[in-house]
Structure 1
Amino acid sequence: MAEITVRPMASDDADRVLAIYQAGLDGGDASFETTAPTWTAFDEARLPDHRFVAVDGDESVIGWIAVSPTSARAVYAGVVEHSIYVDPAAQGRGVARLLLDTLIASTEAAGIWTIQSGVFPENTASLALHQRAGFRVIGTRERVGRHHGRWRDVILLERRSPVIT
C-alpha cells in the first residue's frame, strides 16, 4: 500500500477536490447537496487555515477535509462544522481518520473548541469514524429535509476539545 500523507489544500487541488466531492454526493448518503459547488463557492464557504488533502505516493489527491464557521456571532468563533470526503477507490485505507486527526490538531492549535457535523444515519462508516475520533451523538433531526424524493434524518455529532478550556 502506498504511503498516504496529508498537506494543506491548495487551489491547484480544486479539480480533484470537487471530483471527490461529487463522487461522494453521487453515492447518495453524504449530503443533501446533489452537485458539488464551483471552486469559488467552495473556497468562500470554508476557513482557509483548516483545509487539508490526503495524497497518495504519486501525490494524487485521494481525500479532503475542511471546515466552515457555524455562525458569524463572536461567541461561536470556536465552533466549526466539518466535511470530509474520500475517493471511493481509496476508502478503507485509513484516509478519513488521517484527515480527521489532522483537522483536530489544526483546530485545537487555533483555539477552536468544538467541531460538529451532520451525518445521515445510513452512513454507518462515517458514524463509526467519528465515534472512534471522540465525537458524540448530540441528537437526531428527524425528517429534516427531502433528498432524492424522500425525507431524511440527520444525526448531529460534535467533538468538544479536551484541551481548550
Structure 2
Amino acid sequence: MTPADAGAVLAIYQAGLDDGNASFETAAPAWAAFDTGKLPGHRLVAVDGDTVLGWIAVSPVSARPVYAGVVEHSVYVDPAAQGRGVGRTLLDALIASTEAAGIWTIQSAIFPENQASVALHRAAGFRAIGVRVKVARHAAQANRWRDTVLVERRSPVVL
C-alpha cells in the first residue's frame, strides 16, 4: 500500500463503513491520519491491473515494549470483489509479513452479524476468544448497542 492507493483504499473503507457491519466508525479518516495509525511494514493491497480490490493493515495495540508482537488488523474488500478470495489472499499475506517480522499475535474485533468476516478469520486460523457484549454504541445505527467477537491468531512460527 502506497500513497498512490489512498483514494481507492479510503473509498473501500468508506463502503465497508456504510454497510454498517464493519466498524463503529462512520467516516473514513483523511489519508494522513490513516497512514499515521498503521504500521508501515504490514499494509497491503490486492489489485487487479490498476484496480484496488481490497486492503489490509495493522496497528499496534500498545506502545509498551512487551506488546511489540501484538497487532490489531483491519481487512476491507470492495463490495464488487467480495466472494472472490480477496480477503483470504490479503489475510494470508498479512500473516506471512507479520510472522517474518516476529509478530506473534494478530487480533481483531468483528461484529457477530458479519458472518463472512467471522468465517474468513476462522478459515485463516483465528479463534474467537470472547464476546464483548454491548461494548459500544453504533452512531450509524441510531446509537444501538453492539457486541463484538474478539478473534486472534497466535503464530506457531514465532512462539
Q: Shorter-chain TM-score category?
A: over 0.9
What residue identity is the alignment partner of 1:118?
A
Q: Once the two structures are superposed, what CA deviation does each residue of 1:19-44 show, in whole Å capped at 9, x if it has no partner?
A: 00000000000000000000000000
SS in 2 for 1:108: helix
Identical-residue share of aligned pairs (%): 72
Q: Once the two structures are superposed, what CA deviation does each residue of 1:111-153 show, in whole Å capped at 9, x if it has no partner?
A: 0000000000000000000000000000000000011221000
In the alignment, structure 1 residue 60 sits paired with structure 2 residue 65 = no
Pick one of 145, 148, 152 that aligns with 1:151: 145
Question: What is the CA-CA distance between 1:59 and the residue it aligns to?
Answer: 2.0
Question: What is the CA-CA distance between 1:64 and the residue it aligns to?
Answer: 0.1
What residue identity is the alignment partner of 1:130?
H
Pick one of 37, 43, 46 that aligns with 2:35: 43
Runs of 4+ in 1 over 6 A off after TM superposition: none
Pick one of 10, 18, 22 that aligns with 1:18: 10
Aligned to 1:103: 94
Number of aligned residue pairs: give it. 156
Q: Once the two structures are superposed, what CA deviation does each residue of 1:78-132 show, in whole Å capped at 9, x if it has no partner?
A: 0000000000000000000000000000000000000000000000000000000
CA distance in 2, matches of 1:143, 1:77: 29
What residue identity is the alignment partner of 2:157?
V
Aligned to 1:83: 74
Normalised by the size of structure 2, how large is the TM-score?
0.97
How large is the Cα RMSD of the aligned pairs? 0.5
In the alignment, structure 1 residue 164 sits paired with structure 2 residue 158 = yes
Aligned to 1:118: 109
Structure 2 gap segments, 5+ residues each: none
